[in-house]
Structure 1
Amino acid sequence: MSLLKNVGTIGGLTAVSRVFGFVRDILIARALGATAMGDAWQLAFMLPNIFRRLFAEGAFASAFVPLFNRRMTKDGDMAQAEKFATSVLAVLLPILIVFGGIALIAMPWVIEFFAPEGLADEGGNLEIAVFMGRVTFPYLLFMSIATLIAAVLNSLSRFAAAAAAPILLNICLIGALAYGLTLGGDLEARRITAQAMAWALSLSGLLQVVWLGFFMRRAGFRLSLAFPRITPGVKELGVLVVPAIFGAGVYQISRFVDLFFLSTLPVGSYTYLQMADRWNQLPLGIIGIALGTAILPALSRYLGREENEEAARLQSNAIELAMLLTIPCAVALFFTGTAFVRVFMAGQAFTQEDASVTGMVVQGLVLGLPAYVLVKVLTPNFFARKDTRTPVVTAAISLVVTIGLNILLVPRIGVTGLAIAGAVGAWCNILLLGGILHAKRFYRIEPRLIGRVARIAIAAAAMGAALYFLMQRIDPWFTGSVAQKAAGIAAILATGAITYGAGTVVLGVLDKATFRRLMRRQG
């Protein structure tokens, strides 16, 4: 399939998941609000997800896919690939079980350390937060297994099932929230709702394993339980995955750094950051993750056959498509993010003041949105070459920059400082990754691509100017009646689409040659 079709498949299903996640966060805002229990839920939700991204999605998948692809033969024989995946699962399971047991024991100390100021002001909140942390942590085990199965399916170019799996997470959480919203809005109702969501999270992990396992068997691939042994394949994976864990670990350490700084801020800061990040994650998940997932197997095959020109072509196409979609998203959210938060999230437990603070955090986050996406697009070039060390170094340097900015900004501007610091750190990472790819002759940006990205930026800037002047006139609509809010959102969407669309056509960004290039079949 072509890059555009693969990204469309993954991105389309991811978009459905993000819409469900968007609905989920609207309900969370209204049911829990920026309250102590809202922050307690966000902390219980973030902890297993930080480790999931550390052990599973980032490090494991990036190291596993190239090794798995090398064991797949052109005639369709998957015996060696099945043997490799089974041996990896046999070693992965006991590691996850032992780690999970340690985390459950240590949970009271972990929650107390990261709890925001004021969480314990209402009696029983800390105990409930610890309970939720323990209930949600099995999600890590289930999702690590799901990631292994998803990596197998992606290597077989069956992207749909893995892209759709997170929908199950959001359905489970929405179900728990729907139940909670029937209980009212007092403290006890918020506590029951948060605990129901904790159980729903772990249940969703189990359901995703079952879902992906079904499609793996339909693809003719079999995984079985075996006694753990350090086979040559497992050893080779370990050599790659350990530095990749440190690389992913640098990012997750930055998440722990965020948790530390959040613990120094008033109650509500966890919720503000998570609600703002939902808007940032919409384009990041749909575009960045889809592109990174789609190009890694193809890059591995091109480089394995020493087809370097084809690998460079694929990399350029991925960058162009990423910027074509991401830059306008970032510009539009910068100028209109507060309006969207007011329309969709404000209400019940989430006040207009909460929405205003969240909107400011959205502005800080989207400053780094193109960089966050480019990280997903550039790192596969290193992973496909089995170079997991370089992204570790660049991420570590960017982390130092981020921490320095956190120390400087958070005491002055609060949670918005975290967003800005992360954005600057992401751009530092991109400059380092791109510079190293150029220096090692792994990939060099062509003047043609630079020109096209510049024209995309000009078209997005024109759209941003139009949205800026529009918001001056219609800002009061977003705190008015339902009809005024709907008219305001429609005006934003129409203005953005018309101005950016016209800009790309006038500047020659979108033409038949572009579509032909992006539709070209991958190797």
Structure 2
Amino acid sequence: MLRNILSVGGYTLISRLTGFARDIMLAAVLGAGATMDAFSVALRLPNHFRAIFGEGAFNQAYVPAYAHVAEKQGQEAANLFADRLFTVLFLIQVVLLALALPLMPWLVTLLAPGFKEDPAVFALAVALTRITFPYLLFVTMVTFLGATLNAVDRFAAFAAAPILLNVGMMAALSVSFLFPSAAYAAAWGVSISGLAQWLLLYVAARRARVSSRLVRPHMDAGVRRFLKAFGPAVIGSAGVQIAIFADTIIASLLPRGAYSALYYAERLYQLPIGLIGIAVGTVALSAMSRAIARGDEAAANRAQNRALAIAFVASAPFVAAFIAVPELIVAGLFQRGAFDAQASIASGTVLFAYALGLPAIVMMRSQVSAFQARGDTMTPMLVALGAIACNLALKLLLWRDWGAPGLALATAAGAWVNLLTLFVLGLKRGWTTPDPRLPGFFAVVGGAAVAAGLFAWWLAPRAMHLTAALPFQPLLIGVLALSAAAGAIYAALAGIGLKATGLFRLVR
């Protein structure tokens, strides 16, 4: 498991680093004003639909179903099962694209109603979203092929695919003089990268002999099993997206720049989510699904406990950093060009609020896997909807007085409600059996993270003073030096503590 997690995490790290380079270019060129707000909506709209119908719901229902068919009927039957689902998914995406393009003004109005007050921004958002929306078709096919590769323990290509999104956008921005504006260049970069990602996954699937083709759909037992799980998974994934939709809608009603503050802060806190949470959850779901398909509950429990421990030890330093020095992190990465100090303060405050829910979000994927691996997508759906109701109620309560940070704080609270509810239900059903060493593990790692965060807070002004005179990127170099120092403190304290207590075996 650890080797696969490191493989996924390694490519995800490259993806996130290239993503930061992309966002640095976006911040320098588009800043944090109305143009960036319009592009953010254009990027987010296809991602909403992808998360609902593709990446989220599909993985949750597909991987356990594929593992079940392969275990019980053999690989040839699993490939036929995949072909039939590929055909259905492709046809749905084509219809969705055909409907969305002419209805784009209505969709943008639904997503960002505040833009209607500024016709120029609204028109730009509509034009950019029409360019980016075909990305949904490509990335949904990428998600399907990636899920099939994950089900046969091939994780690298799918984890590497998002790198092409970042490279494509940076390449387009570098020749933005060929487009009406830099925003149009970025939008075209998004769509072209979707095609590149599909080609990468298609080649990888061909090499693994699990590529899919269009066939006549047929409702066999495997497809019915998938659809039974897929419906609740769609609703559950839609619930998460409803919360993000709410952020987008409410942020469009706030002063210009609020949406951009959410965007840049979210990009930072998504780093550990993608690097750790998704990587651990992806590998855990695959391992648990195979264990349960062969009736080995003990192996499934071991996989889940290892996943929780790895997720916590890897995410704790991010939580500490985002709470201790959030504005400095934003400034070091983005403060240049059109992105000024005020934008750093706004995004840093949002990042602090997001960080309060980061441990729950990172560990949630492993907890959800206990249900998904057993074919139960109904329970996570109901829990997600309950958490989203809490999330939305808090957003409506906080947004007027707290602005964008209030929206992020509501997201954090909803994540904790989701995680704790799943944990309690898993205990009651006997699907979650926590290792008795986990509380001690959390205490040791949490203590090391708190100590590292306090050290970063104390060292921050001193590090910035030392690097202030540097001729090139003093803020960025200061943040990197501070991160290295605090990270070394965390690694040393956590490593010593875990080895001294014998708890290191939980993550080996």
Q: TM-score range by the shorter chain?
A: over 0.9
Alignment map for 1:87-166 (pairs within 5 Å): 87-115=84-112, 117=114, 121=118, 124-166=120-162
TM-superposition CA deviations, 1:177-231 (whole Å, max 9, x none): 1223x68xxxxx8x61111221221111111111111011111224211233433
- Give the aligned residue type for 1:159: F
CA distance in 2, matches of 1:227, 1:135: 31
Residues 319-364 of structure 1 show CA distances to partners (whole Å, capped at 9, x for unaligned) of 1111111112111122122112112211111111111111111111
1:322/1:374 contact within 8 Å kept = yes
Matches within 5 A, 1:369-388: 369-388=358-377
What does residue 418 of structure 2 align with? 429
Q: Please show how residues 437-476 of structure 1 align to structure 2 within 5 Å.
A: 437-474=426-463
Q: Choose the corresponding residue for 1:39, options 37, 40, 62.
A: 37
The answer for the alignment partner of 2:186 in structure 1 is 197
TM-superposed CA distance for 1:125, in Å, is 3.0
8 A contact 2:324–2:454 mirrored in 1: no
Shift of 1:105: 2.3
Q: Aligned partners of 2:208 and 2:492: how far apart in 1?
A: 43
Q: Which residue identity is paired with 1:162?
A: F
Indicate yes or no: 2:303 matched with 1:305: no
Q: Over residues 71-98 of structure 1, what are the superposed CA-to-partner deviations in whole Å (9 max), with x where a residue is unaligned?
A: 22599x5211111011111211221122
- TM-score normalised according to structure 2 size: 0.95
Distance in structure 2 (CA, Å) of the matches to 1:29 and 1:483: 15
Q: Distance in 2 between matches of 1:382 and 1:478?
A: 50
Give the partner amino acid of 1:23: A
* 8 A contact 1:117–1:266 mirrored in 2: no
Q: Deviations over 1:114-144 (max 9, x none)?
A: 33746754x6332221121112111111111
209, 213, 218: which one aligns with 2:202? 213
Residue 309 (structure 2) pairs with residue 320 (structure 1): yes
Tell me what 1:171 maps to: 167
Whether the 8 Å contact between 1:343 and 1:479 is mirrored in structure 2 is: no
State how far apart, in whole Å, the 2-side matches of 1:113 and 1:52 are: 17
Q: 1:47 to 1:510 in 2, by over 3 A?
A: farther
**Which of 443, 467, 488 is the equivalent residue of 2:478?**
488
Question: d(CA) in 1 for partners of 2:373 and 2:64?
Answer: 6
- CA apart distance, 1:110: 2.1
Query: Aligned match of 2:223 in 234, 238, 253?
Result: 234
Change (3 A) 1:258 1:486: closer
Distance verdict in 2 for CA 1:201–1:446, change over 3 Å:
same
In 2: Cα distance, 1:376 partner to 1:510 partner: 27
Output the CA distance in 2 between the equivalents of 1:447 and 1:39.
47
Structure 2 equivalent of residue 12 of structure 1? 10
Aligned pairs, how many?
507
Distance 1:356 1:510, change over 3 A: farther
Partner of 2:257: 268
Give the root-mean-square deviation of aligned CA atoms.
2.2
Deviations 1:422-462 (A, max 9, x none): 01110111110111111111113233111111111111111
Displacement, 1:516? 5.3
Secondary structure of 2:223's aligned partner: helix
Shift of 1:398: 1.1
Distance 2:477 2:255 in 1: 35
TM-score (norm 1): 0.92
Aligned to 1:186: none
Contact 1:118 1:266 in 2 (8 A): no
Structure 1: gaps spanning 5 or more residues? 184-188
Number of the residue aligned with 1:500? 490
Note if contact 1:462-1:500 (Cα within 8 Å) is conserved in structure 2: yes
What stretches of structure 1 move > 6 A for 4+ residues in a row?
477-480
Distance, in Å, in 1 between the alignment partners of 2:19 and 2:292 is: 36
Conserved? CA contact 1:302–1:311, under 8 Å? yes
Name the CA shift for 1:141/1:118 in 2 (closer, same or farther; >3 Å): closer
Per-residue deviation, 1:512: 11
What's the counterpart of residue 83 of structure 1?
Answer: 80
Distance in 2 between residues matched to 1:378 and 1:483, nearest whole Å: 41
